[in-house]
Structure 1
Amino acid sequence: MRKLLSQFQGDKAIWAYVVLLALFSFMPVFSASTNLVHVVGTGTIVGLLFKHFGHIFVGIVIIFFIHRIPFDRLKFIAPIAWIPVTALLVITSLQGMMIGGANASRWLKIPLLNISFQPSSLGWIALIAYISWFLWRFADEKYTFGWSLLWLGVPIGAIVLPILPSNLSTAAIILFTIALLLYVGKYPIKYMAKIIAAGAIVIVVAIGMFKAFPDMAPSRYKTWEARFDRFGSEDKDEDRYQIDNAKIAIAQGQMFGVGPGKSVQKNFLPQSSSDFIYAIIVEEFGFLGGISILIVYVLLLFRFLVVSRKAPNLFGKYLAFGLGFSIIFQAFINMGVAVEIFPTTGQPLPLVSSGGTSIWMTCVSLGIILSISRKEEQVKQQQADRERKQEEFRQLLEEQEASFEEDSEDNPMRAVLNK
Structure 2
Amino acid sequence: MMRRTTKNRLTEWWWTIDRPMLLVLVLMLFAGLVLSMAASPAVAERIGLDSFHFVKRHAMFIPVAIAIMIGITFLEARAIRRLALLVLVGSLIGMVLTLLFGFSAKGAQRWVSIAGFSLQPSEFLKPAFVVLAAWLFAENDRRPEIPGNLFAIILLMVAGALLVAQPDIGQTILLGAVWSGLFFMAGMPLFWIFLLLGLGMVGLTAAYMFLPHVNGRINRFLDPATGDTFQVDKAMDSIIRGGWLGTGPGEGMVKRILPDSHTDFIFAVLAEEFGIIVCLVLVGAYIFIVVRSLMLALRSHDLFKRLAIAGLAILFGLQAVINIAVNLQLMPAKGMTLPFISYGGSSLLSVALGMGFLLALTRRRPEVGQRNDN
TM-score in terms of structure 1 length: 0.79
Q: Is the 8 A contact 1:249 1:282 kept in 2?
A: yes
Q: For residues 81-120 of structure 1, give each alpha carbon's deviation from its aligned partner in whole angstroms, at most 9, with x where no partner exists.
A: 64443222222122363346x3x21112334xx4332111
Whole-angstrom CA distance in 2 between matches of 1:304 and 1:270 = 35
Whole-angstrom CA distance in 1 between matches of 2:287 and 2:321 = 10
Whole-angstrom CA distance in 1 between matches of 2:278 and 2:293 = 23
Note the C-alpha offset of 1:132.
0.6
Q: Which amino acid aligns with 1:296?
A: A
The match for 2:371 is none
Note the C-alpha offset of 1:199.
4.4
Whole-angstrom CA distance in 2 between matches of 1:127 and 1:325 = 13
Q: Is the 8 A contact 1:10 1:370 kept in 2?
A: yes
Answer with 1 or 2: which has the greater Rg.
1
1:344 aligns with 2:333: yes
Q: 1:135 to 1:118 in 2, by over 3 A?
A: same
Q: 1:148 to 1:204 in 2, by over 3 A?
A: farther
**Is the partner of 1:105 in helix, strand or coil?**
strand
Note the C-alpha offset of 1:36.
2.1
Q: Which amino acid aligns with 1:129?
A: V
**Is the partner of 2:343 in helix, strand or coil?**
coil
Whole-angstrom CA distance in 2 between matches of 1:363 and 1:99 = 25
Q: Which amino acid aligns with 2:217?
A: R
Pick aligned residue for 1:378 from 365, 368, 372: 365
The match for 1:308 is 297
Q: Is the 8 A contact 1:311 1:372 kept in 2?
A: no
Q: Is the 8 A contact 1:230 1:239 kept in 2?
A: yes
Q: Which amino acid aligns with 1:105?
A: Q
Note the C-alpha offset of 1:12.
0.8
Q: 1:205 to 1:369 in 2, by over 3 A?
A: closer
Q: Which amino acid aligns with 1:128?
A: V
Aligned counterparts, 1:40-189, within 5 A: 40-45=47-52, 47-76=53-82, 82-95=88-101, 97-99=103-105, 102=107, 104-111=108-115, 114-140=116-142, 150-165=150-165, 166-189=167-190
Note the C-alpha offset of 1:268.
1.1
Note the C-alpha offset of 1:127.
1.8
**Is the partner of 1:108 in helix, strand or coil?**
strand
Q: Which amino acid aligns with 2:234?
A: N
Note the C-alpha offset of 1:136.
1.1
Note the C-alpha offset of 1:191.
2.3
**Is the partner of 1:139 in helix, strand or coil?**
helix
Q: For residues 349-392 of structure 1, give each alpha carbon's deviation from its aligned partner in whole angstroms, at most 9, with x where no partner exists.
A: 11111111111110111111111122xx2328x9xxxxxxxxxx
Q: Which amino acid aligns with 1:330?
A: Q
Q: Is the 8 A contact 2:103 2:112 kept in 1?
A: no
Whole-angstrom CA distance in 1 between matches of 2:335 and 2:291 = 25
Pick aligned residue for 1:249 from 231, 238, 247: 238
Whole-angstrom CA distance in 2 between matches of 1:39 and 1:273 = 12
Whole-angstrom CA distance in 2 between matches of 1:230 and 1:52 = 32
Q: Which amino acid aligns with 2:163?
A: I
Q: For residues 176-209 of structure 1, give each alpha carbon's deviation from its aligned partner in whole angstroms, at most 9, with x where no partner exists.
A: 111111111112221232243244345546655x
Q: Is the 8 A contact 1:256 1:287 kept in 2?
A: yes
Whole-angstrom CA distance in 2 between matches of 1:30 and 1:206 = 37
Q: Which amino acid aligns with 1:289?
A: V
Note the C-alpha offset of 1:300.
1.0
Whole-angstrom CA distance in 2 between matches of 1:244 and 1:54 = 32
Q: Is the 8 A contact 1:129 1:319 kept in 2?
A: yes
Q: 1:61 to 1:247 in 2, by over 3 A?
A: same
Q: 1:141 to 1:187 in 2, by over 3 A?
A: farther
The match for 1:414 is none
TM-score in terms of structure 2 length: 0.88
Q: Is the 8 A contact 1:30 1:49 kept in 2?
A: yes
Note the C-alpha offset of 1:125.
1.9
**Is the partner of 1:94 in helix, strand or coil?**
helix
**Is the partner of 2:109 in helix, strand or coil?**
coil
- Unaligned 5+ segments in structure 1 are 211-220, 383-419
Note the C-alpha offset of 1:5.
8.4
In the TM superposition, structure 1's runs of 4+ consecutive aligned residues that sit over 6 Å from their partners are none
Q: Which amino acid aligns with 1:97?
A: F
Q: Is the 8 A contact 1:82 1:159 kept in 2?
A: no
Q: Is the 8 A contact 1:31 1:262 kept in 2?
A: no
The match for 2:6 is none
Identity fraction in percent? 23
Whole-angstrom CA distance in 2 between matches of 1:150 and 1:67 = 30
Q: For residues 266-304 of structure 1, give each alpha carbon's deviation from its aligned partner in whole angstroms, at most 9, with x where no partner exists.
A: 111121111000000000111111111111111111121
Whole-angstrom CA distance in 1 between matches of 2:206 and 2:22 = 46
Whole-angstrom CA distance in 1 between matches of 2:81 and 2:337 = 29
Q: 1:363 to 1:202 in 2, by over 3 A?
A: closer
1:291 aligns with 2:280: yes
